[in-house]
Amino acid sequence: MSERLRDYHGKRDFRRTGEPEGGEGRAAPEPRFVVQIHDARTMHFDFRLQVGDVLKSWSVPKGPSDLPKDKRLAVPTEDHPLEYEEFEGVIPEGQYGGGTVIVWDHGMYEPLSHDRRGNLVDFAGSLERGHATFRLHGTKLRGVYALTRFRDGDWLLVKTAEGRSRGRGSPDPRRARSARTGRTLAQVAAHSGDG
């Protein structure tokens, strides 16, 4: 069990939540990303990038935007297990993050961070230093995005301008559909009792 999941485990009671405990997942050769919509106490999006054997995670209140002019606040949260990429369902009320989760988008990404000389640098190190760029190959999100720390504990998620941008901004979380199952939050919530 990864030491890096200690915070994740500390917040959850796995006898009650259906979220994955983790530890079984194998890191994919091509790193993966997932964007979940989480209808918790406050609606937000969770943006996660596979780095090593965990999903580095940020809570993005307004959701990612495909318009370069939109700078989206992204607040780091605890590392999640790789299996979390698949998680869609209802976290019981009273549990940490209680509410409904759908997988809004997922796919692979290419780390793109370079140093000043243009050499590719270690992606995890770039994140630790507070700036990393990557190309997303999702079913919805495509293109180059950057995550940049701009003050203690706060990051920005921004799409970088390349070529013509004809984005639509951020999705309406209540109308958005799962990339895995095509369901809305309401549909997932309505079937939460099915087991």
**Binding region for Mn ion (CB under 5 A):** 38, 46
Minimum Å gap between C-beta 76 and Mn ion is: 12
Minimum Å gap between C-beta 89 and Mn ion is: 13
Q: How far is CA 74 from CA 65, 70, 102, 121, 163, in A?
A: 12, 12, 18, 23, 25
CB-nearer residue toward Mn ion: 38 or 56? 38
CB-nearer residue toward Mn ion: 111 or 188? 188
CB-nearer residue toward Mn ion: 95 or 167? 95
Distance between first and last Cα of the chain: 27
Minimum Å gap between C-beta 77 and Mn ion is: 7
CB-nearer residue toward Mn ion: 46 or 85? 46
Look up residue 90 and give its DSSP letter.
E
CB-nearer residue toward Mn ion: 51 or 101? 101
Nearest-CB residue for Mn ion: 38
Report the distance separating Cα 187 and Cα 90, nearest Å.
11
Report the distance separating Cα 109 and Cα 165, nearest Å.
19
Instruction: Find the helix or strand (DSSP H, E) in which 142 lies.
Output: strand 142-151
Minimum Å gap between C-beta 181 and Mn ion is: 19
Minimum Å gap between C-beta 14 and Mn ion is: 17
156, 130, 143, 126: which is closest to 58 by C-alpha? 156
